[in-house]
Structure 1
């Protein structure tokens, strides 16, 4: 009666066989290495993008709401809707919504900003003094726009840090003159670096009083008045955002004579986080699937090489069976060889992928974002692929008839 070969002996023989064919074993592992490295790198990039977006949104403030226009040129019930949000809407929110502490209306447009012989294109924002507190911006040098400057439409400006560097690379910016739309403005402050939000570099902006923006750059609509691009609203605290949204929505519906669809939207940080999470989560899954294709190709490579190995070792298999080896022993040995190739390739690929993620984090704003769970799953997946694609060669080896196999000796 044939005795079952000990598991340790099966592993020893599998490792010995792989070691005797080092070059072929290494080349077989290349596909798994590339596949694992691709999965780790692409998932890391996807999660890094998600972390970066969420970090930028967290900087907006958990108790900040954004009122933006939408469906702006519709007519319902014989009433013409405002072309956009207007300054009176912001004033009404500040005066009539009890759960709101600050309101910051905003007008923006892209303009060429000049300082002497230098020029740069930047986003010009017409704002009120409350903008700084509502949007959690900070001043690096000088000061921000004052209430007096806003009420009297003074020609003053505050530069973003990158825009300041472009216009005044060597000297101080405070007190200097810049020109916007052929209008001269005195620089009174420079913003602290803020980074990008929704792909827009906040450090290339320039801020002027909203009244100055209307009087000198955008003008006033004769029918609708001062049209706004958005209204930033600061609720009392994070718990008050729900009540603030409800009250703002009801107020604007009343002001715009809306009976059905709103011509505006009130959005919160959580809304943006949900949208970003959905998009980046889908992107991460797509990137992981692309990497998984490389891993699948590596598994097919293992199967091909193991099939070749079965053909080359026909005599060896026949001799072992003639000496009493069971079919299950042969099956286990080939499965162990496939598992070792895939697991080692997976481990090496994981190290390469982690290195690539760290390199991306060092060279780009994306943070390194690979958890231990992802690493364990990826290595386990590569081992599973080795077992899966090793079954066909192992079964073929196990089914060889020893008499037929020995005829080739």
Structure 2
């Protein structure tokens, strides 16, 4: 019996037992869909994290308070950075392009009857270069505003809409903790990064925030939460980091453990990428178990099928079908169920990826390798788990099979 006839008989048999065939494929369908969807979500998460890190700016170093050991503790490290540290970095590290210190505080912003809690972003004009912010209308505050502690504010686009409801806010006065601020600009939309909605921020001079809102809290100068540093080019990142660390050790008179940590943007991206990669691998392994379960299901159903079709096997062998013919047909049936289930599961998995992309911020990350791997594994699973039942069917004695039937 040739291969074409074996395929024809296998399709005929499977079509005659639609319910059994569907239930047999179910495990493979679920397994394939799970693996492809999981790997797709993982790829989407990787792209999302990469875009989030890149949206922070380009060629960035982040200087934060506390030693690397303190960063891993569940409590906040003491704030040891001051505004003069940022100025020293800008003046004394040659490979640095711009430096933007940052001081944050959460306060309520008032305009007439509107009262909105928001994050105050105290910084300097260099933040426009360092963090890729753009002014949509009006202007940003200047170095003179920082020097004079001027009560001016540039609003994020969402915050401006919430407070003024479409009205032009430029020139209007808002109040923050009892202090009147002049609105001088509205920022272009930037979106959210790592849970911070930059369109809901209120940008004010760092000196104004420290002296008129939160108060001075450090005897060594105007305290800041952290410092963002933009380096001239990617090749100078390691040199700039080394120079910044040495400069701050001299300024802080450090002889033992550092009271600050310098983070590289690339290191941050690698850390986040390794986390998402590990989670994806874990979820894919769990989903892969479904393929194994599906293969075992195929074997069980095929074994039952051998018992149910004992008479058919006996008749076929009695009229001349060889062991190889029986083995080939049962193997083909198992492979067909696996490949067809894999194809359906692939379609469901790809559809699930697009659905998740629509409902979340993740991009649709469809991996051709994942699809090929899942489909190939499902086909191999059907072949491997179909061989044992096929061999059992091929070894049946035709006389015993007819008599047992």
Check the 8 A contact 2:67/2:261 in 1, yes or no: no
- State the TM-score, normalizing by the size of structure 1: 0.92
Residue 134 of structure 2 corresponds to residue 144 of structure 1: no
Check the 8 A contact 1:73/1:82 in 2, yes or no: no
Question: Which sits farther off after the overlay, 123-132 or 87-96?
Answer: 87-96
Question: Partners in 1 of 2:180 and 2:383 — Cα distance?
Answer: 73
Question: Partners in 1 of 2:36 and 2:246 — Cα distance?
Answer: 48
Secondary structure, aligned partner of 2:109: strand
**CA 72–175 in structure 1, closer or farther in 2 if over 3 Å, else same:** farther
Match of 2:392 in 1: 396
Aligned counterparts, 1:161-310, within 5 A: 161-221=157-217, 223-310=219-306
Check the 8 A contact 2:346/2:371 in 1, yes or no: yes
Question: Partners in 1 of 2:153 and 2:159 — Cα distance?
Answer: 12
Shift of 1:346: 0.8
Shift of 1:275: 0.6
Match of 1:314 in 2: 310
**CA 331–140 in structure 1, closer or farther in 2 if over 3 Å, else same:** same
Secondary structure, aligned partner of 2:43: helix
Match of 1:103 in 2: 99
Equivalences, count: 399
**CA 82–384 in structure 1, closer or farther in 2 if over 3 Å, else same:** closer
Shift of 1:284: 1.3
Residue by residue, what CA displacement relative to the aligned partner does 1:245-287 show, whole Å, maximum 9, x if unpaired?
1110111112222234322111122111101110111121122
Shift of 1:83: 4.1
1:30 to 10, 26, 30: 26
Aligned counterparts, 1:362-373, within 5 A: 362-373=358-369
Check the 8 A contact 2:33/2:346 in 1, yes or no: yes
Secondary structure, aligned partner of 1:187: strand
Residue 333 of structure 2 corresponds to residue 337 of structure 1: yes
Question: Partners in 2 of 1:245 and 1:71 — Cα distance?
Answer: 15
1:18 to 5, 8, 14: 14
Shift of 1:209: 0.2
For structure 1, the 5+ residue unaligned runs are 75-80
For structure 2, the 5+ residue unaligned runs are 71-76
Match of 1:77 in 2: none
- State the TM-score, normalizing by the size of structure 2: 0.93
Check the 8 A contact 1:73/1:83 in 2, yes or no: no
Question: Partners in 1 of 2:353 and 2:400 — Cα distance?
Answer: 52
Match of 1:78 in 2: none
Match of 1:353 in 2: 349
Residue 39 of structure 2 corresponds to residue 43 of structure 1: yes
Question: Partners in 2 of 1:13 and 1:241 — Cα distance?
Answer: 67
Q: C-alpha root-mean-square deviation of aligned residues, in Å?
A: 2.1
Question: Partners in 2 of 1:159 and 1:321 — Cα distance?
Answer: 84
Check the 8 A contact 1:82/1:224 in 2, yes or no: no
Residue by residue, what CA displacement relative to the aligned partner does 1:186-236 show, whole Å, maximum 9, x if unpaired?
211111121222222222211100110111112113523222111111112
Shift of 1:72: 9.8
Shift of 1:30: 2.4
**CA 369–314 in structure 1, closer or farther in 2 if over 3 Å, else same:** same
Question: Which sits farther off after the overlay, 104-113 or 127-136?
Answer: 104-113
Question: Partners in 2 of 1:153 and 1:23 — Cα distance?
Answer: 77
1:405 to 376, 380, 401: 401
Secondary structure, aligned partner of 2:404: coil
